[in-house]
Amino acid sequence: MYTSARDFQQQNLQTIDFPTDIASIKARIEAIDPKKYGATRNYKDGAVTYLSPYISRGVISTKQVAEHIFSLGLPKTVIEKLIQELAWRDYWQLVWRAKGEAISTDLKHPQSDVSNYQIPKNIVNATTGIKAIDEGISELYETGYMHNHMRMYVASLATNIGKSHWLEPARWMYYHLLDGDWASNALSWQWVAGSFSNKKYIANQENINKYFNTQQKGTFLDVSYEKLAQLELPNELKLSEKLELNTELSVVDSGIKKPLNKNTFLYTYYNLDPDWHAGEAGDRILILEPSFFERYPVSQVCLDFALKLAKNIPDIKIFVGEIDNFLTELNPENIFYKEHPAFRWEIKGEEPRDWMTSIDGFFASFFAYWKKAKKELFA
C-alpha cells in the first residue's frame, strides 16, 4: 500500500506491483510527472504512470486522470504527450463501440504475408533469443504487466517477423494482462500488423537495445531495416501452436435470492468504479457472464485482480451467470449499469461512461480523432 505520491515515487519500479486499495491508486495519480513521462515513456525504465490496470477495470477513468494533469497548471507542451496517450484509450473504445465484434477481424486491410493463424511457440515460452523480449514476456507472466513499447516489439515479432495472423497472439497477450482491454489490445495489434494502419511496424535489434538497456548482437533482428523488411521466417519462430485459453469462474455465488432494494447497480469486468452512485441505496452486484469470458478469456491472476478491486465497492455481491438468468432469477426492479461495447444488454438503465471529450462516432484513424479532441481539450 502506498499512502502518498512520494511513497510511490520512491518504490523500485523494477519490481512494480499493482495494489488494489484506493489510497494506493490515488497515490499513483498524484505521482504522475508529465514532463518525465513525455521524455522517457518509450524506455524500459521510463516514467510511465502504471495506471492502465485501473483504467481498464473502470476503477478510474481517463477523464479523471486528465483532470488531475490539467490541474497541475503545466504548459501545454509539457502535458500534451500524456494527454494524447490517454486519448488513444478513448479512441480505441470509440472504435469498439462503433464496430462491435468486427474489431476481432482485419478492419482496414487483410493482414499480408500470413503463414499461420497460431502463435510462435518461442514467444509463448519466452525463448525467442531476443533477450529484452524474452524478459518482457517473462515479466508479463510474473506481474501481469508489459511496457507499451515492449508490446509493440512482441506484436511485430509475432506478426511481421513470425508471420502469424495477429488475432491468436493478441488473445494470448490479453489473457495475461491486468490492464487487458480488448479494444486497445486487438486494435494495437492490428495497427502493428498493418490491418488497421497503412504500414506495418517493425523494430530491429538496435532499436530494442536502445530502449531496453541491452547490448545484444548477432540475432536475427540484428540487421538493417531494409533487410529486416525482406527477412525470411526465422527458424526461431517457425514452430507455432494454438492455445487453449479459458477462464475458470470458480467464484462461489454469494447466494443472492432477491433484490433487497428498489435499485440495482450492476458492475462488470470493465466497470469496478467505487465512486459510481456511491452512498445511494441499492444492491451492488458484479455480474460475471460465462459467455463474456468465453469470448475474451483472462487468466486466473487477472480475474483475482478484478475481484480484489471489486472489494472497494461496499457490500458488493457476485452473480455468476448470463444477464438473462440474472433478470429471471432475481427480477430486479430498476437496473443501472455503465455503457460498454462488451455488454450490449437490451435493458433499460444504461448510463454513459466518463470520457475525456464530448466527441463521439467512428474515426478511421487516431489522428483524425485527435485533431478534434485536442481542440476541445486545450480550448
- The string of DSSP letters for 150-162 reads HHHHHHHIIIIIT
- Residue type at position 354: D
* Residues 281, 237 within the same domain: no
CATH number of residue 331's parent domain: 3.40.50.620
**Which residue has 455503457 as its cell numbers?**
339
Check pLDDT > 70 for residue 79. Answer: yes
C-beta of residue 245 within 8 angstroms of C-beta of residue 175: yes
Instruction: Report how far residue 183's alpha carbon sits from residue 340's, in angstroms, rounded to the nearest whole number.
Output: 11
Residues 231 and 319 in one domain: no
Distance CA 134, CA 296 (A): 25
Q: C-alpha grid cell for residue 44?
A: 524500459
Phi, psi angles (nearest 5°) of residue 278? -60, 135
Q: Which of 6-15, 55-64, 187-196, 221-230 has the lowest mean pLDDT?
A: 6-15
The pLDDT score that the predictor gives to residue 250 is 79
**28 and 16 Cβ atoms separated by less than 8 Å:** no
pTM, full prediction: 0.94
Q: How much is the average pLDDT of 339-354?
A: 95
Half-sphere exposure of 117 (CA within 13 A, CB side): 2
Structural domain total, the chain:
3
- Please check whether residue 258 lies inside any domain of the structure: no
Residue 262 has, within 13 A of its CA and on its CB side, a CA count of 2
- Rounded to the nearest 5°, which phi and psi values hold at 4? -150, 165
**Over the range 338-352, which residues count as b (16 or more CB within 10 Å of their CB) and which as e?**
bebbbbebeeeeeee
Q: Are residues 113 and 237 in the same domain?
A: yes
The answer on 154 and 110 residing in a single domain is yes
The reply to whether 166 and 194 lie within a common domain is: yes
Full residue range of the structural domain in which residue 74 is found: 5-101
The answer to whether residues 5 and 27 touch, using CB atoms and an 8 Å cutoff, is yes
| Amino acid letter, 218 | G
Residue 258: pLDDT above 80?
no
- Determine the Cα–Cα distance for residues 335 and 358; give it in Å rounded to an integer: 25
> What CATH number does the domain containing 225 carry?
1.10.579.10
pLDDT digits (tens, 9 = 90+) for 80-131: 999 999 999 999 999 999 999 999 999 999 999 999 999 999 999 999 999 9
Is residue 323 situated within a structural domain? yes
